[in-house]
Amino acid sequence: MSRIGKKAILIPEKVKANIKESFVSIEGPKGQLSYQLSKWIDIKQKNNEIKLGINNINKESQELYGLSRTIINNMVIGVSKGFIKKLEIHGVGYRAQTKNEDLILNVGYSHPVIIKSEKGISIKIENNTQIIVSGIDKEIVGQVAAKIREVRPPEPYKGKGIRYTGEKIKRKVGKAGK
């Protein structure tokens, strides 16, 4: 049995949870998210607590037990607080800007790279080199941040590129010269 799956999910005051059979809908001050549970997972709500259980023990149900609990917990956190990913741009002449909700990156290519904004995600720029991706769905926030980083991942020799804030880049020694 999953240790994570056994934990109860606490629901804050401003958040409402609606459970109908295996469909979970969480509504809060920042928005609404929903999730369809597997047929092997049971869900029960008591007051301000949600508990998950397994109704048929097999390999797939045990795999989905902890995952389902984590997804529902992230939904509760997302609609109450939201999620943020911060990225930094390193390199001479590298910069970012926004135009009509889209992100425009100038990162050493012959053309600017345009990344379309997704629904429910906001992208903010601070001093041309810091990108802040925020939203209520943790999965989509992470995907958008990864897509931005993928445009120019940090290279190991000078560290130029786009990286997450606080990410450490393993540096390599350049040519050894004679």
Q: Is residue 6 pLDDT above 90, yes or no?
A: no
User: Residues 6 or more apart from 85 whose CB is under 8 A from it?
Assistant: 132, 133, 134, 141, 142, 144, 145, 164
Closest alpha carbon to 117 in 93, 134, 138, 94: 134
Model confidence band, residue 163 (pLDDT cutoffs 50, 70, 90): very high
Query: Does 133 or 120 have the greater pLDDT score?
Result: 133
Q: Is residue 1 scored above 90 in pLDDT?
A: no
* Global pTM value: 0.88
Domain coordinates of the chain in residue numbers?
A: 3-80, 83-164
CATH number for the domain running over 83-164: 3.90.930.12
The domain 3-80: what is its CATH number? 3.90.930.12
pLDDT tens track for 7-62: 899 999 999 999 998 899 999 999 999 999 988 899 998 888 999 989 888 888 88
Asked if 3-80 and 83-164 have one fold, the answer is yes
80 half-sphere exposure, CB direction, 13 A CA radius: 15
Element spanning 18, H or E: strand 16-20
